[in-house]
Each structure stands twice: as structure tokens, then as C-alpha cells.
Structure 1
Amino acid sequence: MATQIPLAERMRPTRIADYVGQKHIIGEGAVLWNTLQQKSIPSMIFWGPPGVGKTTLALLFAQELGRPFYSLSAIKSGVKEVREVLDKAELMRQFNEEQPVLFIDEIHRFSKSQQDSLLGAVEKGLVTLIGATTENPSFEVISALLSRCQVYVLQELSKDELIEIINHSLKYDSILKDQGIEIAEYDAMLQLSGGDARKLLNILELVSQASNFKKAVINNNFVATQVQQSSIRYDKAGEQHYDIISAFIKSIRGSDPNAAVYWLARMIEGGEDPKFIARRLLILASEDVGNANPNALLLANNCFQAVNVIGWPESRIILAQVVVYLASSPKSNASYEAINKAQSIVKQTGNLSVPIHLRNAPTKLMKELDYGTDYQYAHAYAGHFVDQEYLPNELAGTKIYDPGKNASEDKLRQGLKEKWKLKYGY
């Protein structure tokens, strides 16, 4: 008996009109929609979480434009496989055939030499490259290739979009449409899927089979009893990837080095890229430790450099040291809160004028307009400080940075209070 095609594959859209999500780039009038209307697409990289439609979108582009489509996985393919596709593309060009689309899934896993092998073909227009990645391409894709591609960020699917995918499958799938299955509650399926549409359809297929397709009413309890998740599984391409890194970060933020090292071990045993972990530690050192312990950022940066130099498996020891240090450090998110507040103020108030005394005056005209006049050079005053206004006039006295309640920032607060008196309420 022939193997049944999985539901996720059966329901893969065959038209742009049936594609769910990413309206900001593919909705009517959006940038890629306009590009398709012009019957031409650039080489590009889709960056986003798993299960949001990166592969499907690439395939639909090729179909819409009537282009040959080649798909490679960076995990399974190397320079040899890339070379074979490029040779086929060269042959097509000689026979004046359509330029093929080369889709590379998880392009961030390609080595530098593998990415280098694509450069010439992309530059000459031999293929239109579409890469997919769950990682920031500015870290993982070589600059020469990145400069030849447009980067589009794909967003997580909303709850309404995920429900739309479920209902569409029940209505139109060749197997499910005649079974009379009713979804009484969606929450368990949505939660277990983690926003991954592919996983969501796998769950729907599983619970549908468990119900024997007999006009079943699917509720949260039924889903929970049917979906078995391995407690030790770690899929670095998706699945538990984001859950594990979330637990890891929250354990460090919560000052629990025991839990933090445990989640680190889960990632190590799952084959996670150590550079990915080191980058998260860099971010966390500022976001969650901050000026409560300024050395945290220095240590995290040294860790990132060391991981790149030392390699695996020895760098696991360096990661563990820094994880324990960050988890054990005093915590402050004051800098994180400060930049969030500042950005919010900018969005609300727009482009406020720079005070005249803070403006640069490189030309005679600017000097005649009093640019820089009355500016007081702080180093010329006692304590290298002088009380003058640095914010736009409309925001004078607005406190944006509020030091955290810890020994290090208590000292900062005291120094600011002595300088600014009551102005900022320190």
C-alpha cells in the first residue's frame, strides 16, 4: 500500500492567493506582491521562525513565474550538490530557458566555502537564489552573498492565521473534508504547535486519526492526551528550539545557575551552534545584568570571541563559566527599559529640534546663526560637570534612565542625584 502523504504536504498552497500570513511583504500592494506583478524577483533571504511558510513562499514564486525550481537543504547538501544545480542552470541558459530558482533551506548552516560557491552564479544571474534561515543572516551569511540578496523578515503566524489553517484543512483536505470533524477548542493545538504551521498540521492529523475520523469533536483535553512530546527531544531547526532557549535565558535572568547550566547542557547535547548560545549571552549581559555588574558584558564578549577561536567541544566549558557568572550576578534591566522608553518618546514626539547650543557649527553661516553658542564644555568645570540642558526643550526634565536597585547602580544614582539635584528626581 502506498505511503500516505502527510497533511502538511497535502495542504501546501499552490497559489499565492491561498498563502496564509506575511501580508506585510506578500499582501496586495506589498513589496513582493509588486515584484511578482512585474514578473521578476531578486535573489533574497527569508529570515523567520520555523513553520511560517519560507519554503512554500519560495516554491510559489517559482510557480507564479514559471521558473524551474531546485531545492537543497544545507544540512544534507554540500558544494558538490550546489555545483550540480549550477551546471544545470548553465545548460538552461545556453538553450535560452527560464532562469531557475535555487532554494536553500537553512542557508545559515552552509560553510563559508559553500556560500562562496554561490556567489558567482548569483552575481551573473545564473540562478535566483532564495535562502531560508531561522538565524540572523547578518551573523550567519557571508557579507559578499548578503549584499547580493534582499532580506525579508517573516513574522510569526497570528492566532487567527493558525486557526484559519486548521479550518481550511478540515474543509478542503481530500481526507479530512468528509469526516465531519469539529474543533470545539483550539488552544491546546495552538500552544503545542508553538506557532509552527507545519507542526500544527501534524498535530491536527494525529488527533484526527486518533478520533477515527468519526464526526469527532476535538477539545483541549483530547489533544493533550493524544499528543506525546518527548521531554528530552531538542530540534535545533525548530520544534523545541525556542522553548529551550527561552528556559535558558529565563533561568539566568532568575539567578538560578543550576537550571541555567541544565538548559545549556540540553542545547549542547542537541547539537546547538555554540555561537548561537554565545550571542544570546551577549544580549542577556546587557538586557538583564546591565550596570548592576558592568563586567558581565565584558566577560560575555570575551566568551563570544573565545568560542569562535577555541571551537567545539572545549568551548562548552567557557560557555558554562559565563552562564554561571551571569546567573549568579546581580540583575538590572534599567538600560533595557531606558532605551525602550526613549524610543517610545521619539515615536510619540517626532523629530524635535536639537537645542541651538548643542548644534555643530562647521560653517560660517551656522556660526552666524548662533549654532553652538553658549555651549558649556563640561571638562572646563569642577568635577567635569556643568548643569545645562541636553534634551530638546519640550522634554526638559524627562527621566528616561532609572537606575536599578543594586549596589552598582545605587552608586550611579547617587552621583546623578548630586549632579542634577531635583531635575530628574534621582
Structure 2
Amino acid sequence: MAKAKTPFNEPDDLLSVDRDALRPLAERIRPRTLDEMVGQRRLLAPGTALRRAVESGHVHSMILWGPPGCGKTTLALLLAKYADAEFKAISAVLSGLPEVRQVLAEAAQRFATGRRTVLFVDEVHRFNKAQQDAFLPHIERGTIIFVGATTENPSFELNSALLSRCRVHVMEAVSADDILQALRHALQDQERGLGGLGLRVSDEALREISGAADGDVRRALTLLEIAAELATGEGGEITQQTLVQVLADRTRRFDKGGEQFYDQISALHKSVRSSNPDAALYWLTRMLDGGCDPIYLARRMTRMAVEDVGLADPRALQMAIEAWETYDRLGSPEGELALAQLVIYLASTAKSNAGYMAFNVAKRDVREYGTQEVPMHLRNAPTKLMKELGYGTGYQYDHDAEGGIALDQPAFPETMGERVYYEPVERGMEIKLKEKLDRLRQARRDALQRSRKGIKDA
């Protein structure tokens, strides 16, 4: 009996399939020249240093730092093409040190025959120090033209030895207008794109796709390809109903543990400090939208209430704690409104970091002066022996003093003298605190001076 024919035991059948048709649109339509690339004008516009180097074939080892879909892989491929070099790619996610050594050995053999290798390492920041160090001698000898791609800040993720041998090029998210240009090209290209499908799509629909791509050309082309597949069964038109299906689960770029996370929390904190409630609300919403833990945001805003609002408005700390508790009770999405109201209040109210600065100066004195003895009159004397030793002698009970304050009673260690740490600003409630403390401190200085003079005269 003849064996049933299946794709698994007839590999020749697979060879007859058009492999290009199986590749994603974003891969098929990948630019073949620098002129076909969209975006990155700062780096690749005619006349720029990098473009001249690429076009002349005199390329250098480099790190390409930028968000997903901005053209890092494409640029690496073009480097190899213009330099007439072999292109080899490895992924730091999938490859280990044995694979790295094998690729480097092949590159060394190729170099001995007079041909260079462009080695593209995707997600290079995921390699550990030992794996990164493996590239160093080969970069120095010129065996490879190293091109590392990363979405993370190279200053934090790559070791200094590798960075010293590579030029870092910062690539930007592609603008919606440039993505729109790539989408139109894909629709017109009959050889590699969707030009042969006779699709009908409005400019408005293309703009919606380019906006939803969030700076990622690859995502935009993937969304267009999905929309085209749906449209072929709907008369060949990408309608608004089609887009509703395709864009239903759109997401924005956000890395909860990477550079974007820290950039955005920095923007949130600085917008609050700058008393810009609209910007603060925007960055809070961006982080919530990206999946940031709301409890983390509540904790950070409580820090802002202490550090940046401080005693100019003590209500801010209470409101921060209450908003935190409200979210803890309600969860998302209801509890997020409490966080939104909190960030608006923090940004809108008076600010003072006087308490924060005072605490830092006090910590500095503690480090500088070391373990100072507590003045005898401030010590507690719960036992007879301690009283006999003079503990508590000379202490003045403030409530019994005129005005409720014993002004001539020093409170710092004798070797330090009286110190001033807290300097209230003339904003919010600290205006009144400043007026009171200015009077009180001057009165204390005068009283202590009279007291010391009296002791000296005696």
C-alpha cells in the first residue's frame, strides 16, 4: 500500500513554494539602498559623515542604539552591501559563546583570503561581559566590522572596553510621516510589496496605521499586511471596519525595566517639580498605559510629596498616602483616578525642598563630627546614680519658661555649637514657618550670647 502523501515526507513539494511569498512584508520590502530608507535623516542625509563613510565602503565598528523598528538591522545589511563584505548575524538572545567563537573563526578565515565580514549582533546588551570581550581582539585586528544593535542605553549595558572600540550612533523612532511614506511604497511595489493586489485604501486609513505603529516601521508594515489579508475577502478595500479589527490591540512602546521606563519616570518627577500639572498628568498616563505598576507610581509620588512639595504644603503627603490607599482598595482602573488627581495636586501646589536639603546637611554633619556626647542637661536621669553624675542638671522645662521656650538652653553638642539646617522658602505654608523661625532663632542667639556673657562675667 502506498504511503500517504504529506508535506512532511515530501520535502520536494516545499521546494516548489515561492519562498518570497512566505516572508513577511516587512522583510520583503526591506530597503536595498540608503535612498530607500525612511527616517534617520540626522545620520543618513546626503553629505553626513556616516553616509559618506557607508557609500565609500570605509565603515567602522559601531553600536546602533535605538527603539524597535527604526532600521538598525537594515542599516547593518546596507553597511555590508556598500563595503562588499560578508554579512553575518547572530542574536544575543539565541546565541552563546560557542556560537560566537564559531562565527569569529569563520570571519578570521575569510579575512585571511582578503574578504571582510560585517558581524551584526542583535540585542548585544544581553551578552554578558565575557561574551562581549570575545569580540575585542577581532575588532582591533580588523577581522570583523562589528555592528551591535541595542534598545538599551549602551553606557549602562555595554562594557567600557567594547564601547571604546566602537562608535555609538543614536537612531530615533521613525516619524508618522516617514512611516506613511513606507506604507505607500509597499502598496505601490509590485515586485516585493502589495502592488499586485489592487488594494484600495484611503490616506486617512494609512495615517491611522502609521500613527498606531508608534515609530516602528516594521510594526506598520505588519499591520498593513494584516489589513490587506482581511481586505482581500472584502472586495479589496481596507475599510474603517477592517482597521478596527487590525488596530484593536495596539500598544505603545514601553519597557518596564529599561531606558524608556527611567526616562518617563524622570519626566514625570520633573514635570511635578516644575509645577506643570498637564505634563505631569500626561507622563503618568503614559506610564499607566505602558503597563507600569500603579503602586510603584504611588510610591514615587509619595516621594515627590516629601522631597519637592515638603513643608510648603504638608497636606500633599497626606493626600499621597490617601491616594495610595485608595488605589490599593479599588485597583485598576477606578483607583487610577486617585493617582491622576494626586499628580495634578502635587504639580499645582507650592513647592519647597528646604526640609530635604536640611536633612542632607544634618547627615553631612553626623558623618563629619562623628559620635558627639549629648549635653548633660539634655540627658535623661531615671536612676539615682545618673542624677548624682549630673544627668539632667540644668535642664529648663520649656512649658515653664516665658513664652513656652527656654531660649538660652543649647541643644547641640558643645563642640558643634548651634547649627541651622532648615531654611524655609517664601512659598506656601513655609512663609509663616520662616517668619516664626527667623524671630525664634534670633531670640535664641541673643539669649545664648547673654547667657555665655553672664557665665564669663561670673
The two structures have a TM-score, normalised by structure 2, of 0.55
1:73-152 equivalences under 5 Å are 73-95=91-113, 97-152=114-169
Cα distance in 1 between the residues matched to 2:435 and 2:223: 52
The change in CA–CA distance for 1:90 and 1:218 in structure 2 (over 3 A counts) is same
Give the counterpart letter for 1:22 in structure 2: Q
State the 1:127 CA deviation.
Answer: 0.7
The change in CA–CA distance for 1:80 and 1:285 in structure 2 (over 3 A counts) is farther
1:159-238 equivalences under 5 Å are 159-174=176-191, 176-184=194-202, 185=204, 186-212=206-232, 216-229=236-249
The change in CA–CA distance for 1:137 and 1:173 in structure 2 (over 3 A counts) is farther
Cα distance in 1 between the residues matched to 2:28 and 2:307: 49
1:3-82 equivalences under 5 Å are 4-82=22-100
Give the counterpart letter for 1:5 in structure 2: R
Alignment RMSD: 4.8
State the 1:23 CA deviation.
Answer: 1.4
SS at match of 2:109: helix
The change in CA–CA distance for 1:142 and 1:228 in structure 2 (over 3 A counts) is same
Cα distance in 2 between the residues matched to 1:59 and 1:260: 37
State the 1:245 CA deviation.
Answer: 9.0
Give the counterpart letter for 1:210 in structure 2: L
The answer to whether the 8 Å contact 1:52/1:157 transfers is yes
The change in CA–CA distance for 1:129 and 1:79 in structure 2 (over 3 A counts) is same
1:157 equivalent in structure 2 = 174
Cα distance in 2 between the residues matched to 1:151 and 1:410: 53
The change in CA–CA distance for 1:33 and 1:411 in structure 2 (over 3 A counts) is farther
The change in CA–CA distance for 1:332 and 1:116 in structure 2 (over 3 A counts) is farther
Give the counterpart letter for 1:38 in structure 2: S
State the 1:18 CA deviation.
Answer: 1.2
Give the counterpart letter for 2:187 in structure 1: L
The answer to whether the 8 Å contact 2:231/2:242 transfers is no
1:348 equivalent in structure 2 = none
SS at match of 1:183: coil
The answer to whether the 8 Å contact 1:244/1:263 transfers is no
The answer to whether the 8 Å contact 1:207/1:223 transfers is yes
Cα distance in 2 between the residues matched to 1:13 and 1:329: 46
Cα distance in 1 between the residues matched to 2:208 and 2:426: 38
The answer to whether the 8 Å contact 2:56/2:83 transfers is no
Cα distance in 2 between the residues matched to 1:107 and 1:66: 24
**1:151-172 deviation per Cα after TM superposition (whole angstroms, max 9, x unaligned):** 1111111121111000000000
Give the counterpart letter for 1:226 in structure 2: V
The change in CA–CA distance for 1:291 and 1:228 in structure 2 (over 3 A counts) is closer
Q: Which has the larger radius of gyration?
A: 2
The answer to whether the 8 Å contact 2:122/2:149 transfers is yes
Cα distance in 1 between the residues matched to 2:207 and 2:241: 10
State the 1:53 CA deviation.
Answer: 0.4
**1:354-402 deviation per Cα after TM superposition (whole angstroms, max 9, x unaligned):** xxxxxxxxxxxxxxxxxxxxxxxxxxxxx99xxxxxxxxxxxxxxxxxx
**1:246-297 deviation per Cα after TM superposition (whole angstroms, max 9, x unaligned):** 69986996699xx979944599xxxxxxxxx99xx99x99999863359xxx
Aligned length: 302
The change in CA–CA distance for 1:230 and 1:261 in structure 2 (over 3 A counts) is closer
The change in CA–CA distance for 1:111 and 1:70 in structure 2 (over 3 A counts) is same
**1:121-172 deviation per Cα after TM superposition (whole angstroms, max 9, x unaligned):** 1122211111111111111111111111111111111121111000000000
The answer to whether the 8 Å contact 1:182/1:215 transfers is no
Cα distance in 1 between the residues matched to 2:148 and 2:435: 48
State the 1:89 CA deviation.
Answer: 1.3
Cα distance in 1 between the residues matched to 2:27 and 2:132: 29
SS at match of 2:59: coil
Gaps of 5+ in 2: 1-13, 273-279, 312-338, 350-419, 438-458
Cα distance in 2 between the residues matched to 1:222 and 1:156: 26
The change in CA–CA distance for 1:24 and 1:229 in structure 2 (over 3 A counts) is same
Identity, % of aligned pairs? 30
The answer to whether the 8 Å contact 1:93/1:126 transfers is yes
State the 1:176 CA deviation.
Answer: 1.5
Cα distance in 1 between the residues matched to 2:431 and 2:139: 51
1:309 equivalent in structure 2 = none
The change in CA–CA distance for 1:288 and 1:266 in structure 2 (over 3 A counts) is closer
The change in CA–CA distance for 1:116 and 1:191 in structure 2 (over 3 A counts) is same
The change in CA–CA distance for 1:51 and 1:241 in structure 2 (over 3 A counts) is farther
